[in-house]
Amino acid sequence: MYDCIIIGSGVAGVSAALTLKALKRSFLIIGNKNLSAKVMSAEKIKNYPGLNGASGAEFVKIMQAQLSEGGIALTEGRVTGIYDGENGFFVACGQDVYEGRTIILATGVETVRPIKGEKEFLGRGVSYCATCDGFLYKGKTIVVVCASKEEEHEVELLASYAAKVCLFALYKDCAVTAPNVEIMRGMPSEIVGGMKVEGVMVGGRKIEADGVFMLKDAACDSLYSALEVSGGAVRTGRDMSTNISGIFAAGDCTGRPYQYAKAAGEGNVAAHSVNARLNEKDKI
Q: How far is the CB of 271 from a second copy (least distance, A)?
A: 8
Binding mask 35-54 for a second copy (x = CB under 8 A): -----------xxxxxxxxx
Query: Using the rule CB under 8 A, which residue among 185, 205, 238, 283 binds a second copy?
Result: 238
Contact between 25 and a second copy by CB under 8 A: the answer reads no
Q: Whose Cβ is closer to a second copy: residue 25's or residue 216's?
A: 25
Binding mask 63-102 for a second copy (x = CB under 8 A): x-xx--xx--------------------------------
Contact between 262 and a second copy by CB under 8 A: the answer reads yes
Q: Whose Cβ is closer to a second copy: residue 127's or residue 236's?
A: 236
Q: Whose Cβ is closer to a second copy: residue 139's or residue 257's?
A: 257
By CB under 8 A, the count of residues binding a second copy is 40
Contact between 265 and a second copy by CB under 8 A: the answer reads yes
Q: What is the C-alpha to C-alpha distance for residues 14 and 61, in angstroms, rounded to an integer? A: 12
Binding footprint of a second copy on the chain (CB under 8 A):
11, 14-15, 18-19, 21-22, 46-54, 59, 62-63, 65-66, 69-70, 236-238, 256-257, 259-269, 272
